[in-house]
Chains A and B, each alone.
Chain A
Amino acid sequence: DGGITQSPKYLFRKEGQNVTLSCEQNLNHDAMYWYRQDPGQGLRLIYYSQIVNDFQKGDIAEGYSVSREKKESFPLTVTSAQKNPTAFYLCASSARLGQALSGANVLTFGAGSRLTVL
Chain B
Amino acid sequence: GDSVTQMEGPVTLSEEACLTINCTYTATGYPSLFWYVQYPGEGLQLLLKATKADDKGSNKGFEATYRKETTSFHLEKGSVQVSDSAVYFCALLPGETSGSRLTFGEGTQLTVNP
Contact = CB atoms under 8 A, between A and B. Distances in A.
A19 interface: no
B32 A43 contact: no
Contacts of A110: 43
A111 B42 contact: yes
4 smallest beta-carbon distances between A and B, as pairs: A109-B43, A98-B100, A42-B106, A100-B32
Contacts of A101: 51, 95-96
Given A42-B104, A103-B51, A105-B102, 14 more contacts: A40-B106, A43-B89, A45-B101, A92-B43, A96-B98, A100-B51, A100-B95, A101-B51, A105-B32, A105-B93, A107-B46, A109-B44, A111-B43, A112-B42
Given A106-B46, A107-B44, A111-B42, A99 B106 contact: no
Size category, A interface: 20 to 34
A100 B31 contact: yes
Nearest to A50: B99
Interface in B39-65: 41-46, 49, 51
A118 B106 CA distance: 27
B28 interface: no
A64 interface: no
A48 B102 CA distance: 11
Interface in B94-112: 94-102, 104-107
A53 interface: no
Given A41-B106, A107-B102, A100 B43 contact: no
B5 to A, nearest CB: 11
Contact of A100 (B41, B44, B96, B107): B96
B45 to A, nearest CB: 7
Interface of A: 4, 6, 33, 40-43, 45, 48, 50, 58, 90, 92, 96-101, 103, 105-112
B100 A97 contact: yes
A110 B41 CA distance: 11
Contacts of A103: 51
18 contacts: A33-B101, A42-B107, A43-B89, A43-B104, A90-B43, A96-B98, A98-B98, A98-B101, A100-B31, A100-B51, A100-B94, A100-B96, A100-B100, A105-B32, A105-B102, A106-B34, A110-B43, A111-B43
